[in-house]
Amino acid sequence: MMFRATRLRRLAGTVTVAAMAVSLVACGSDDATSDGTVTLEFAQWWGAELPAGEFDKIINDFTAQNPGIKVKLLSAPYASTKQQLLTGAASKTLPDVVGLDGAWVNDFAEQGAITDLSKLMTDANYDASQLASQVQVEGKTYMIPVVNFVYPLFVNKDLLTKAGVQNVPTTRTEFLDAAKKISASGGDVKGWVLPLDTAVPNGVQNDVMSWLWASGGSMVAAGKPNLTSAPVKSTVEYVKSLNDAGVIAPGSLTMKEQDKVEKFTNGQVGMMIDSLAHINLIKKNKPDLNFEVAALPAEDGYTGERGIPYASWGIGISDSTKHKAEAFKFVSYLMSQETNAKLSTIANGFPGNKNAEPDFDNSDPLFKTAFDIYQQGYPANEFVGLPKSEDLMRSFAEQLQLVLTGKSSVDDALAKSQENWSSVIG
């Protein structure tokens, strides 16, 4: 399946941040050594989210099979990686290989920071039919999703039980009711958590538009913004109703995704929408937390398929690297059936190689539950491939903040967002 810039639906540290900041402003790795050995710098956030040492094993297997290539991992949390790659892309000084979020691809490609992978695949006689998806701009592939993560509903079962909620909510009404009961159960616990920090505005994608997609809605029609439509208005009005009911954890306007995960891990919120990639992190930090994952609640009465927000650990290659062939050899290794199955299993994600199968027998049971949810719905993330997608999220977050603070009506905020988006998308 191909994902082009005009197509809007798709399936979403081992070094210190300071050290990474220095590394990412370098223009890839040094030239090959006198013995011909090439060192590839690989900047990503994946290593920080995997069990300790697991990613290193995969890298070591590659270097054992390819003694003429070394890989230097530059691992840091997502937010730090993003900021450094944005800087490197603007100055065309990215490391040789980079982990990518689909929201960055259009801008990076337009800047000439990442290279055309279609050409590298052709040069290497690579069979692209094994790839579950590719992210393209103007018909050229710039990112290959390595591991895909759905964003289901995470539920603290103990908090639900304490609040007298017997079943995980499946509709918006049930969710609001459960959130109210959790918030009223005592202490500083709230029913839901919503990160809307405009510096890292992916909460719009993961925590707001996910309600729209779960009910089969779309924020785009015929390639143009559709933010004043009834489904989008219903979504924003629902989020406002959660805020008005006082069930959202305080600090939303400055909260980032990692803050959301921390609050859930610490038992401060009963429910959140989050990536499967964080299951390992949650269980590492709070092994006794009793939680499960479930499908996102839909509008009352909705019986169609539910869109499931998801994000990818995507991979791309710097256009400025002197070692494109070696870099693609590394990419093709990560996308091989055996390696991709192994990586997706330890990451609690779904393979980017459509022939790979995750090992459910030895993985966390929540992984299998999420896979069942994934199969029952359809993957949805309309931000992938949009130009300046993070700016779109940011402008929407700014308008939503005005709604939640009583400074704007829903209609006015959506009209303003429609105007802002139209100036970008066209």
Query: Each residue of 52-99: pLDDT tens digit?
Result: 899 999 999 999 999 999 999 999 999 899 999 999 999 999 999 999
What does the pLDDT average to over 161-179?
97
The amino acid sitting at 336 is S
Identify the pLDDT of residue 26: 47
Alpha helices, DSSP H only, in 114-249? Answer: 117-123, 157-162, 172-183, 203, 209-214, 230-244
Tokens representing residue 315 in the block: 């991979």
Q: Which residue has the higher pLDDT, 223 or 313?
A: 313
Find, among 295, 290, 306, the residue nearest to 174 by Cα.
295
Beta strands in 76-121, from DSSP E residues, in sequence order: 97-100
Any idea which of 136-140, 175-179, 223-227, 247-251 has the lowest mean pLDDT?
136-140
Q: Using 50, 70 and 90 to split pLDDT, how confident is the model at 376?
A: confident
DSSP structure class, residue 225: E
pLDDT of residue 30: 55
The domains located in the chain, with CATH, are: 2-150+311-380 (3.40.190.10), 153-273+388-425 (3.40.190.10)
Q: Whole-prediction pTM value?
A: 0.75
Query: Per-residue pLDDT tens for 114-156?
Result: 999 999 999 999 999 999 888 888 889 999 999 988 899 999 9
Q: Which of 316, 319, 318 is nearest to 95 (CA)?
A: 318
**What single-letter DSSP state applies at residue 336?**
S
Q: What's the pLDDT band for 358 if we cut at 50, 70, 90? A: confident
Q: For residue 31, is pLDDT > 80?
A: no
Query: Percent of the chain, pLDDT > 70?
Result: 92
